[in-house]
């Protein structure tokens, strides 16, 4: 697809090519164990939530999981870019990585909070 700002790339929009790129990114992310095990935790908790609490609670878990996984992917991307640009240790790169990790930590905290609330509700229904 042609970049309107830079004028680079090819003319035309190909949704299948975009879908292929999306799937490649998801495959790379799934190869990271930290992302995969968090996704599996959400799936395991999602099953009883759907049974006992309903669609609204399940959709909240899905949104929290997508938010957390997106933060993990952004963090991984930022760290990879920093390592590519400056492989040696540098104070500024360290600060950038720390900020990205802090954002991911906040997303994980929100995700865990949602999961704990939903688990408590499911246990209350049993």
Active site residues: 72
Known binder of ligand: residue 118? no
CB 61 within 8 A of CB 115: yes
Known binder of ligand: residue 4? no
The angle at the Cα of 107, spanning 34 to 103, to the nearest 5 degrees, equals 95
Known binder of ligand: residue 10? no
Alpha-carbon distance of 35 to 89, in angstroms, equals 26
Known binder of ligand: residue 13? no
Binding positions for a divalent metal cation: 79
Binding positions for substrate: 72
Binding positions for ATP: 79, 88-90, 97-98
């Amino acid at each position: 697809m042609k970049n309107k700002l830079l004028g680079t790339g090819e003319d035309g929009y190909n949704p299948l090519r975009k879908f292929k790129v999306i799937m490649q990114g998801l495959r790379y992310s799934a190869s990271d164990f930290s992302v995969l095990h968090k996704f599996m935790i959400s799936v395991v908790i999602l099953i009883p939530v759907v049974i006992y609490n309903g669609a609204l609670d399940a959709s909240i878990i899905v949104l929290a999981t997508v938010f957390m996984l997106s933060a993990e992917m952004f963090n991984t991307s930022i760290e990879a870019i920093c390592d590519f640009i400056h492989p040696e240790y540098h104070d500024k790169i360290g600060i950038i990585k720390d900020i990205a990790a802090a954002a991911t930590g906040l997303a994980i905290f929100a995700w865990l909070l949602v999961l704990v609330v939903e688990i408590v509700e499911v246990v209350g229904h049993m």
